[in-house]
Structure 1
Amino acid sequence: MGGTDCGAYRVGLGVYAIGRLAGAEAAELSAHLRGCPPCRAELAELRDVAGLLARSVRAGALPAREGAGRGPRTGASRTGLSGACACGSRGPGRSR
């Protein structure tokens, strides 16, 4: 099977790596993997990456994104008050 066109199989490798490819597709890909060293190598790499991602999420290793690099939200812009403040709008549920 090593001489087959792997393109159709490679599409499902990521889903197979995380155990989410089901039924006939999984069985067909599994059969292909037995005879295709390049696809097995790619699957091993995908499983490594999937494992790292799973551990990083469980461990809470993703950094907090407070403000995404922006300064503090004060309601003011560089040219003065923000649009909602400058026009004197009370907004919903607010009275003077």
Structure 2
Amino acid sequence: MGGTDCGAYRLGLGVYAIGQLVGAEADALSAHLLNCPTCRAELAELRDVAELLAHSARSGALPEREGAGRGPRTGASRSSLSGACAYGARGPGRSR
């Protein structure tokens, strides 16, 4: 893990992967990535996923998915994942 606690850095990797982490947080994460192969590998995976999602959204290829006995999933639109990201950060049944 590069000899440091990656927990705080890992929280920002998704935002960093899509180019939305700015300022001191982005600078600190960039410095951490220089010495942490684990976080670099996770960042590469997140960038791959972000690119796939962006490509799917541009092509309109996002399938309508339904779970067993449920209607279509909600919480994230084709143009924004902010609701889903905020939900994921809190987790089900947890409040801020």
Provide TM-score, normalisation by structure 1. Answer: 0.65
Give a deviation string over 1:26-62, Cα, whole Å, max 9, x none: 0000000000000000000000000000000000102
Match of 2:9 in 1: 9
Task: Quote the Cα distance in structure 2 between the aligned partners of 1:64 and 1:4.
Answer: 41
Which structure has greater strand proportion? Answer: 1
| Shift in Å, 1:63 | 2.9
Runs of 4 or more consecutive aligned structure 1 residues displaced over 6 Å after TM superposition: none
Aligned sequence identity (%): 78
Count the aligned residue pairs.
67
Match of 1:42 in 2: 42
Q: State the one-letter code of the partner of 2:12.
A: G
Which structure has greater helix proportion? Answer: 2
1:28-67 mapped onto 2 (5 Å cutoff): 28-63=28-63
Change (3 A) 1:56 1:2: same
Please state whether the residue corresponding to 1:12 is helix, strand or coil: helix
Unmatched runs of 5 consecutive residues or more in structure 2: 66-70, 73-96
